[in-house]
Amino acid sequence: MRQTDVRPSPNAVWLRDNCACPQCRDPRNGQKLRSVTDTDPGVRVVELTAAKVVFSDGHVGVPPEVTPYADDRIEDAKDLWARIDPPCGDWAAFETDPAHREFCLDAVLRVGFVLLRGVPDVLTAAAGFGYVRETNYGRLFDVRVEATPVNLAFTGLPITPHTDNPYRDPVPTVQLLHCLSNAVEGGDSGLVDGFHAAALLRAEDPAAFATLTSTPVTFRYADSGAELTATRPMIGLDPRGRIREVRFNNRSLQPVRPEEADAFYPAYRAFAEILYRPELQVTFRLGPGDCVVFDNTRVLHARTGFADTGDRHLQGCYADLDAIASGLAVLRRRPVPGAVDTLRALFAGPGTADYLGEDVTQAVHMLQTAACAKAAGAPPALVAAALLHDVGHFTGEITGHDLMAGTDNRHSHVGADWLGRWFGPAVTEPIRLHVAAKRYLCAVDPAYYEVLSEASKHTLRVQGGPMDAAEVAAFEAEPYGRDAVRLRRWDDEGKDPARPAPAFDDFAPLLASLVER
């Protein structure tokens, strides 16, 4: 480039303002050391390479790296959901395993919540996610329901989905609810993805969506020591019109101006009716030690009704999303462990969980399945498939806790997709098809059904029962259908508490040889 060149793009002012040389940007923290007004608006680029830029003001600098940052708080950065299996975490693993901590933090940011087991107390959990947002309710607050209620809110009445504290600004962006006791019948917890509901409203009733995004409404709470009001729209958008925040709580909503009521109420009701749809709500029961952590700008929480005999005691506190995102970003700086180390940790950690309805742990079951494959002379990829066929239960998306409830017929796909980061289709596809193979075998081999364990017979029903003729034909056309059938038969054999299981490390060299990426 010649001395006299003017480069309109990339913009010279942009390059000068973002110069990455140590005079312009602190090398320790990346902060810029200059003001935008320090740049001559007529500055030109005289010379530009990947490592060096010379400006017409004489400065010799370094072009910036451009990271494509995007707003991580809008709907586009989220996984919207209806009725999903709750992402579940375990407090002991959270404290000791960075990968598990990463999974939990990511779940709050992307899914909107995580359900943690084994949490000692709510402030300890909050410290794992960031910083407590202290309010007039204290650093933590009690949600206690007693046999003799002194207040309507302390009865067993159901509480419809709502966000907390919409009368604050800034609203607490994270809420934690920790269960100390829940000895009542009923009193289950429910969560709704408010971003998903708002997106449905936009699709189904654009006028209502426009009203709720453009009408500031006032929420208010007052007691003897506090009087909080905040005036915001129920659905907050970013400047580009993307959903960014939901505030929904009829208890604290103040009367809108009477002249706004005709437009507001039909819109408000339309949104409420979507939020209250049972098919949008995840329900679960908090037991002692359970703690749900959720994005209070997005996820509404609810409680089903219960018989008000017995005690139910939760403790809650507030925190903020930005610290969770910071913690996650720092966690992700660590070197990523390879396939074998990651899988070894899965077998040693979550794999030791009970295999519900069976007499072996999940890890033992998979090791026995792999031993069967090896004894049958299967090729290495199929031995690996046998070893890893149930990892979908541990990768966080599906937890296994709800396996018997019939909500899991996807662990085969989840596991195959997850393993795809390292392995080719000869490993992943028999895994993907191994649940279908059971339905196939029950259709083509009547004797097969008889060898199933009682638990496996139960899950067959929730998995869809035996295949029909068209499904059988489609299955037989699958390139890895035959491998999946072989894997399936070893799977059924690998549930024997009396048989010794090989060690994970017996298969480590085989796994390492199969890693493709």
Binders of a copy of itself among residues 183 to 242 (CB under 8 A) are: 213-216, 218, 220-223, 225-233, 237-240
Backbone angles phi, psi at 18, to 5 degrees: -100, 10
List the one residue from 123, 256, 356, 452 that touches a copy of itself (CB under 8 A): 256
140 binds a copy of itself (CB under 8 A): no
51 binds a copy of itself (CB under 8 A): no
Of residues 492, 478, 480, the one with CA closest to residue 373: 492
List the one residue from 8, 278, 335, 500 that touches a copy of itself (CB under 8 A): 8
Beta carbon of residue 107, minimum distance to a copy of itself (angstroms, whole number) = 19
Beta carbon of residue 32, minimum distance to a copy of itself (angstroms, whole number) = 5
| DSSP assignment string, 431-495 | HHHHHHHHHHHHHH-HHHHHHS-HHHHHHHHHHTSS--HHHHHHHHTSTTHHHHHHHHHHHHH--
425/433 Cα distance (integer angstroms): 11
Q: Strand, coil or helix: what is 106?
A: helix
Backbone angles phi, psi at 235, to 5 degrees: -120, 115
Size of interface with a copy of itself, in residues (CB under 8 A) = 97
List the one residue from 266, 310, 420, 481 that touches a copy of itself (CB under 8 A): 266
List the one residue from 51, 203, 262, 461 that touches a copy of itself (CB under 8 A): 262
Contact predicate 383/507, CB 8 Å: yes
List the one residue from 169, 185, 341, 516 that touches a copy of itself (CB under 8 A): 169
List the one residue from 5, 185, 273, 468 that touches a copy of itself (CB under 8 A): 273
List the one residue from 68, 278, 377, 500 that touches a copy of itself (CB under 8 A): 68
Q: Are strands 227-232 and 217-222 parallel, antiparallel or unpaired?
A: antiparallel
Query: Which residues inside 275-314 make contact with a copy of itself, applying CB under 8 A?
Result: 276
Of residues 372, 404, 395, the one with CA closest to residue 385: 372
Q: Which is nearer to a copy of itself, 66 or 477 (CB)?
A: 66
Alpha helices (H) along 7-121? 12-17, 91-96, 98-106
Q: Which is nearer to a copy of itself, 103 or 268 (CB)?
A: 268
Query: Which residues inside 324-383 make contact with a copy of itself, applying CB under 8 A?
Result: 325-326, 329-330, 333
> Which 8-state DSSP code applies to residue 142?
E
91 C-beta neighbours (distance < 10 Å), count: 20
| DSSP assignment string, 239-291 | TTS-EEEE---TTTBPPPPGGGHHHHHHHHHHHHHHHT-GGGEEEE---TT-E
End-to-end CA distance of the chain: 40
17 binds a copy of itself (CB under 8 A): yes
6 binds a copy of itself (CB under 8 A): no
List the one residue from 51, 152, 498, 503 that touches a copy of itself (CB under 8 A): 152
List the one residue from 112, 160, 194, 366 that touches a copy of itself (CB under 8 A): 160
List the one residue from 99, 116, 132, 314 that touches a copy of itself (CB under 8 A): 132
List the one residue from 44, 100, 168, 489 that touches a copy of itself (CB under 8 A): 168
Q: 40 — alpha (psi -120 to 50), left (phi > 0) or beta?
A: beta
133 binds a copy of itself (CB under 8 A): yes
Q: Which is nearer to a copy of itself, 144 or 251 (CB)?
A: 251
Alpha helices (H) along 146-260? 194-204, 206-214
> Which 8-state DSSP code applies to residue 111?
I
Beta carbon of residue 182, minimum distance to a copy of itself (angstroms, whole number) = 24
List the one residue from 55, 91, 94, 268 that touches a copy of itself (CB under 8 A): 268
Of residues 420, 321, 431, the one with CA closest to residue 373: 431
Beta carbon of residue 160, minimum distance to a copy of itself (angstroms, whole number) = 5
Q: Which is nearer to a copy of itself, 232 or 458 (CB)?
A: 232
131 binds a copy of itself (CB under 8 A): yes
Site string for a copy of itself, 24-43 (x = CB under 8 A): --x-xxxxxxxxxx-x-x--
Q: Which is nearer to a copy of itself, 254 or 453 (CB)?
A: 254
515/420 Cα distance (integer angstroms): 10
Beta carbon of residue 271, minimum distance to a copy of itself (angstroms, whole number) = 9
Q: Both tokens of residue 233?
A: 């729209």
493 binds a copy of itself (CB under 8 A): no
Beta carbon of residue 225, minimum distance to a copy of itself (angstroms, whole number) = 6
